Structure 1
Amino acid sequence: MLLAGVLTADRAAANTTLLTDSVKTTSKHAIVETDRTAWWEKARFGMFIHWGVYTIPAGVYNDKKIPGLGEWIMHDAKIPLDTYKAYAKQFNPTQYNPDEWVMMAKAAGMKYIVITTKHHDGFALFDSKASDWNVVKATPYGKDLIKPLADACRKQGMKLGFYYSQANDWTNPGGAAAGGHWDKAQDGSMDDYIDKVAIPQVKEILTKYGDVAELWWDVPTGMTKERAAKFLPIVAMQPNIITNDRLGGDVKGDLFTPEQYIPATGISGLWETCMTMNDTWGFKTTDHNWKSSQTLIRNLIETSSKGGNYLLNVGPEPTGKFPQPIVERLDAIGKWMKVNSESIYNTTPSPFKVLTWGRATTRHEANGNTTLYLHVYNWPTDGKLMVTGLQNEAISAKLLANGKALTTSKTDGNLYVNVPANASDENATVIKLLIKGKPDVTPFVPTQEADGTIALLPGYADMHAAQGGEAMRAEGGNEQNIGYWTDPKSSASWKFVVKKAGTYKVETAAASEKGTKITLKSGSETLNADVDATGGYGRYKKLTPGTFTFSAPGTYTISLASNTGTWNPVNVRKIILSPAN
């Protein structure tokens, strides 16, 4: 996957989502669903598989534990080519059972699989005529690993996609290496590598195995427009294929691919969050930091509630078996999906900006009414679930797990669902709520807390873009930030309620590689702040630009905009207002 500093990185887990501190600097996406992509948007859930020779060292080289991602060990430990290639002599996955893999994916509720046909180490899991560095010619196993998986997927009705590292290749001469080569045997012409290895291999994987559902490029180091353009006629050989946004050369693709995080408010267009179960993509014996089944289930819900797909990774052992923690988590997810998959498949994003007890997905019915699937994490103790701001008439409500009918009521402009004393599922209990018409939700406005503070989270903001420009985005989970602020003409604003008049101190935190200037405005007051160069988009520095005065209780607005002719991207965390006295 991606190298830290290239785009996103190996991120730390939050409770139900993952935090990103990255700023994307490529041009905006213009992705529109078509008949070709319709199946994908309904699917919502897929399996990512990272497998290769890197499973032999499995994170250890010369008796040292190598930090970082398992599949990056050759790069991170600067292993010479001859030494690394010798690992292939031990790669003999005699327990590989692709039918079992597909059955586990199906049982977990996954609708498609994407496997690494060739990762950055250049090792191909298929029989390739373009390079002898492949499973057939370089290992004692001596058989194509992709064909039997393609056959198993076809037999069981599972869609199959291929990951292919088109630019980074650390063993075939001329292939790129993020950060540069470390072995003279890697040197060569990148154009020759593209023409003689990458292009022929992509043609092989797109012509040998039948229909390919998705093509997953990765890390476009050195990919110019001219190099990227060479791949497009080959991709066109699969007219129904879906591609991601990582080919390079300004090729947009169909999917935006957040890595290891779930965008706080979703993304316009088609997007797919890819995520690991522990901290690495490829098998690593020293990584035991497994996310809980509950976290993974809630990540799937979170992604679906924001209109994206969840591509959850497994890293098989060199034998071909899935590690037991993966098997256990797939089984737990499958048990939840067996009961609740209706609330995930073929759903659209939540109409609510904030739900304190969980998340929601939506299905628009043919008769004009709407089904809301309420995924409740925090079960109400008073027997009443408040669906904040929902104005529609409720037609019916029931527990999805057992069909038990529930009653509803309305008070103070909020709809309430009367629920049993206890939740039926500790991961997420789903209530199926049918309402009349399209959702009519009163916009959420944050209100002053009892301690006097007002927290303006990025996820609460309204994002504004100039005509033809690109809006910034709310990112992250528990620690949100406004990111992707690459257009100086874009801005954000918050409405909020002040209960006690007075002067309020303004605090936030910002991160920028090169430094820039920002402006905060409320009414006739303006605060300007210099953002120092922090050395990275994940390195935040506290800002205290000044104070705002609110003369009476009521609803106010604060806006955030750029304030410089020379704009540099910046990430901004939540804005906190607190009484100055």
Structure 2
Amino acid sequence: MTMQPWFPEAKLGIFVHWGIYAVDGVPESWSFFGGDLSRDTYMKQLKGFTASRYRPEDWARLFVRAGAKYAVLTTKHHDGVALWDTARTDLSVATRSPAARDLVGPFTEALRHHGLRVGLYFSHSDWSHPDYPTVRPSVLQRPWVDNRFAMPAPGQEEPERWERFLAQVHRGQIRELLSRYRPDLLWFDGAWERDERQWRMKELREEILKLRPRTVLNGRMLGHGDYATPELGVPILPPEGPWELCYTIGDAWGHQPGDTAHKSVPELVRVFAETIGHGGNLLLNTGPREDGTIQPDHAERLEGLGQWIRRNQEAVYSTDRGMPYGHHYGPSMLAGDRRTLFLVCFDPPRGFVEVRGLRNTVRKISVLGTGEELSHRVVGGFPSHRIPGVVRIDAPTLCDPQATVLALELDGEIELYRGQGAG
């Protein structure tokens, strides 16, 4: 699988969970799946979904100021409600809500106008379509999915209806998104309710790439995606290949008025730095209100993250994953030529910053954002065994309030010592 080069270079994307669930501020889809309210009550939110202040140009400008290079919109969550005028079902905000129009097209146009890549989220699951809950997987990987919105009772399967759903709705709506909006990225979700063979995932991938050969596909395709998608926490051991952490500003994905536990800008900077230091992208989520406005607390966090990125952009874009932990107490990134090492310091250094196992000679050290040059010395080591000493860097005079980044210019491509030392 060949990854499109723009994706690992992007570093930051914005996830937008927007749908009728914002009307009453309930969990998206899960609130009726789990029985917290009836499906009829949930669907009554269609009547209150207006998108009356939806200004996708404002969204795009905010995302640019945040430092993002792409954004992903929930075109259809597990509830089956489409944000575009789909010809495959009658369940869309274009036909069943006061919004009464396609909301996906303006989103894609605004992003492209501001130089952002277009990502469209689409759930494989559809807990509203009558033909969806008609077959069971051979193995229930997650027992709680044995739910009448998701699958029939044992012995009540109707395979012909499942095939009709796949052909007319699942494949049909994906083809609509591809042909109408030409997304750079398709972000799938909800594949856990069927086996790979039931979804025909291999065939789906082939069909998508035949229609749009450069489309990036996320990992929720049961082995047929392009990258991994851990959720809500930076992995201790990051995936080997391309990956992306999807993460919320608050606790919820969609807009919920009671969700006020917003992460601070320093918290988001930390998660972002740890993610890109491990070689991943951060897909940071916001949930607009039903009218299409992004709440000020979320906009403030996005602006704050963007300010830090601008101060330190040399260490963000066009960099690769840095050193494994243990060489430096914090994330690190490498410039594309592997001759500049960036060290992230979350706390103001006391006295000095230390780098272990660096075989290179350090030619120059400076602080991003201020340009201050720092002195350093090498302590210890065992040169006859090619075991390097510890590089101790004088603490900077001024530190960034979120995280200070030091740039170490090396005498060549980075070379690390990973042994146990001489006895």
Q: 1:194 to 1:80 in 2, by over 3 A?
A: farther
Which of 414, 418, 424 aligns to 2:394? It is 418
Q: Map residues 297-312 of structure 1 onto 2, 5 A cutoff.
A: 297-312=269-284
Q: For 1:113-512, what aligned pairs fall within 5 Å after superposition? A: 113-166=71-124, 168-176=125-133, 178-181=145-148, 189-210=161-182, 212-220=183-191, 221-229=193-201, 230-236=203-209, 237-248=211-222, 251-355=223-327, 357-365=329-337, 370-382=339-351, 384-412=352-380, 413-423=389-399, 425-443=400-418
- Structure 1 ranges of 4+ moved more than 6 A: 183-188
Distance (whole Å) between structure 2 residues aligned to residue 127 and residue 411 of structure 1: 66
Alpha-carbon distance between aligned partners in 2 of 1:183 and 1:233, rounded to the nearest angstrom:
26
Contact (CA 8 Å) 2:205, 2:224: kept in 1 or not?
Answer: no
Gapped regions of structure 2 (runs ≥ 5): 134-143, 381-388
- 2: CA distance between counterparts of 1:331 and 1:364? 27
TM-fit CA distance, 1:195: 1.8
What is the rounded CA distance, in whole Å, between the counterparts of 1:386 and 1:232 in structure 2? 46
Q: CA deviation at 1:378?
A: 2.3
The higher relative CO (CA closer than 8 Å, separation ≥ 6) is in 2
The 3-state SS of whatever aligns with 2:207 is helix
Give the helix-richer structure, 1 or 2. Answer: 2
Aligned AA (1:231): L
Q: Is the 8 A contact 2:132 2:150 kept in 1?
A: no
- C-alpha distance in 1, partners of 2:303/2:148? 42
Aligned equivalent of 1:46: 13
Match of 1:56 in 2: 23
Q: Aligned partners of 1:340 and 1:153: how far apart in 2?
A: 24
Give, in whole Å, the separation in 2 of the partners of 1:204 and 1:316: 24
Distance 1:410 1:184 in 2: 64
Mapped partners of 1:377, 1:185: distance in 2: 51
Q: Is the 8 A contact 1:115 1:163 kept in 2?
A: yes
What's the RMSD between the two structures over aligned residues? 2.4
3-state DSSP of counterpart to 1:93: coil
| Residues 52-94 of structure 1: CA deviation (Å, up to 9, x unaligned) | 11112212xxxxxxxxx44421212354443322210110011
How far residue 422 of structure 1 moved from its aligned partner, in angstroms, is 4.1
The AA in structure 2 aligned to 1:161 is G
Letter in 2 for 1:235: I
Q: C-alpha offsets along residues 360-410 of structure 1, whole Å, 9 cap, x if unaligned?
A: 100142xxx61011111122222x211122221011111110222222221
Q: Which has the larger strand fraction?
A: 1
Q: Deviations over 1:450-475 (max 9, x none)?
A: xxxxxxxxxxxxxxxxxxxxxxxxxx
Higher mean C-alpha displacement, 314-323 vs 169-178: 169-178
Q: What is the SS of the residue equivalent to 2:189? A: coil
Which of the two has higher C-alpha Rg? 1
Count of aligned pairs: 397
Deviation for aligned residue 1:338: 1.3
Pair 1:175–1:267, CA change in 2 (3 A): same
The alpha-carbon deviation at position 340 of structure 1 amounts to 0.8
Structure 1 residue identity aligned to 2:217: T
Residue identity opposite 1:420 in structure 2: P
TM-score by length of 2: 0.88
In structure 1, runs of 5+ residues without a counterpart are 1-30, 60-68, 446-496, 498-553, 556-581
Helix, strand or coil: the match of 2:369?
coil
Q: Which shows bigger deviation, 175-184 or 235-244?
A: 175-184
Secondary structure at the aligned position of 1:231 is classed as helix
In 2, the alpha carbon distance for the partners of 1:287 and 1:77 equals 20
Residues 174 and 225 (structure 1), Cα distance of their counterparts in 2 relative to 1, 3 Å cut: same
Within 2, Cα distance between the matches of 1:245 and 1:228?
15
Identity value in percent: 30
